[in-house]
């Protein structure tokens, strides 16, 4: 049996930190830590193949990361090939866009094999972080703090929608960075 861990939150929620911990504890997420930048000096721990395919899926339906739309289907062969390429006894990926593209992968994995790790952080804190670090990647017409806060809420609303009926482990960013016991609890999920 394979277990697939899908790590989600919103951009700047702490999902890279959780992905890094899971990767270090043996979950096969990627062969490289992913993109490095000032916001994630240790890497984002995103599998760039999933990130790129998710961005293409969103684009096919008229969306992108800052204007996400639910993708009901698409690029079936590419999704299947990607899942088969990375499937392992304990594997997964971290890409927040998966909240909107999950339907494309759902039947390829199997409900009983999926475990969602949802990284929660105060929405206002996330919006402030996006506002200060990623605002230049968003069109000017959507750069207000209120627009960014609405975007964060949209991600979490979609995450709640797609994870209903699935195994879900909620991780609270503030607890994760402050409490070593919480980290060990996560390690033995």
pLDDT at 156 over 50: yes
CB 94 within 8 A of CB 29: yes
What is the tens place of the pLDDT at every residue in 98-121? 999 999 999 999 999 999 999 999
List alpha helices for 74-163, DSSP H: 76-86, 98-101, 103-109, 123-133, 145-163
What would the pLDDT profile of 7-59 be if each residue is shown by its tens digit? 999 988 888 888 888 888 889 997 765 654 555 555 567 888 999 999 999 99
Percentage, residues of the chain above pLDDT 90: 59
pLDDT surpasses 80 at 97? yes
Residue 187 — very low, low, confident or very high, per pLDDT cuts 50/70/90? Answer: low
Asked if residues 54 and 101 have their Cβ atoms less than 8 Å apart, the reply is: yes
Task: Retrieve residue 1's tokens.
Answer: 């049996």
């Amino acid at each position: 049996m394979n277990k697939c861990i899908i790590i989600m939150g919103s951009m700047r929620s702490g999902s890279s930190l959780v992905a890094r911990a899971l990767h270090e504890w043996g979950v096969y997420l990627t062969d490289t830590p992913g993109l490095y930048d000032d916001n994630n000096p240790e890497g984002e721990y995103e599998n760039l193949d999933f990130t790129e395919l998710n961005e293409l899926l969103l684009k096919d339906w008229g969306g992108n990361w800052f204007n996400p739309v639910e993708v009901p289907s698409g690029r079936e062969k590419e999704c299947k090939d990607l899942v088969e390429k990375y499937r392992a006894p304990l594997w997964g990926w971290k890409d927040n866009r998966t909240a909107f593209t999950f339907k494309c992968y759902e039947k390829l994995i199997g409900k009983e094999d999926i475990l969602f790790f949802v990284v929660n952080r105060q929405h206002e804190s996330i919006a402030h972080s996006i506002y200060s670090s990623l605002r230049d990647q968003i069109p000017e017409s959507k750069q207000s703090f209120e627009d960014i806060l609405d975007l964060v809420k949209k991600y979490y609303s979609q995450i709640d929608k797609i994870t209903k009926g699935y195994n879900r482990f909620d991780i609270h960013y503030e607890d994760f960075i402050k409490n070593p016991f919480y980290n060990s609890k996560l390690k033995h999920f």
